[in-house]
Amino acid sequence: MRIVEHHSGGAHKLLRIETEGCAVHIAIGLHDADGRPFTSIEIEPLQPADNSDVWYLQGPATTVVVNHGAQVMAGDSTRRSGEDGK
């Protein structure tokens, strides 16, 4: 497995990975309408492949990973008084 680290604060917000049958686009540093940061992942089938094979997608082509803030566990002593953890 090859690991490529791609973090906000770098020079580029878009990473494209090409592999057999598809390209994967990962966009970082995005924000939704409420200002929450998210990362977008898109899979693009490559058609036609060099050997004339047709690749197609099963499942969603695009998904997002949304940051909902720090996780708060039940009984967490770091919660401020009156905070419900939601």
pLDDT digits 0-9 by tens, 42-86 = 999 987 756 778 888 999 999 999 988 888 888 776 655 555 554
Domain residue extents for the chain: 14-66
Closest listed residue to residue 33, CA positions, set 69, 5, 66: 66
Q: How far apart are CA 67 and CA 64, in angstroms?
A: 10
Using a cut of 0.85, tell me whether the model's pTM lies above it. Answer: no
Q: Contact at 8 Å (CB) between 26 and 38?
A: no
Per-residue pLDDT tens over the stretch 13-30: 899 999 888 999 999 989
Angle at CA of residue 79, ends 73 and 81, nearest 5° = 135
Measured from the Cβ of residue 58, the count of other Cβ atoms closer than 10 Å reads 4
